[in-house]
Amino acid sequence: MAKKTRRKKQVTPERLMELSFVYAPPLIISAGVSNKVFDSLENGAKTSPEVAEQTGGIAARSADSNECPRWSGSSEKR
């Protein structure tokens, strides 16, 4: 009987990055839930300082401008 062999994917830097970040999304969502970020966004988009004020966090500033981005939970611009 012929022995079945598995084809191994070649290890590449891209594949290593994929595998190293596979646990990030659940951790990010868990942190958002624990810190009530999603609760603060329930009634609409807010700036980073507004979310920080409601959740007791520290506001992050946009690196591209002096304005803070609005967090809306969607890709829509407001």
pLDDT in tens, the chain (78 residues): 667 777 777 889 998 998 888 889 999 999 999 999 999 999 999 988 999 999 998 887 655 555 555 555 544 444
| pLDDT of amino acid 67 | 56
Q: Which two tokens stand for residue 33?
A: 């839930």
Residue located via tokens 């969502």:
29
pLDDT of 36 reads: 94
Question: Which residues, 6+ apart, have CB-to-CB distance to 68 below 8 Å?
Answer: 47, 48, 49, 59, 60, 61, 62
* Verdict on whether the full-model pTM lies above 0.85: no
Query: Distance between CA atoms of 35 and 42, rounded to whole angstroms?
Result: 14
71 Cα distance to chain centroid: 12
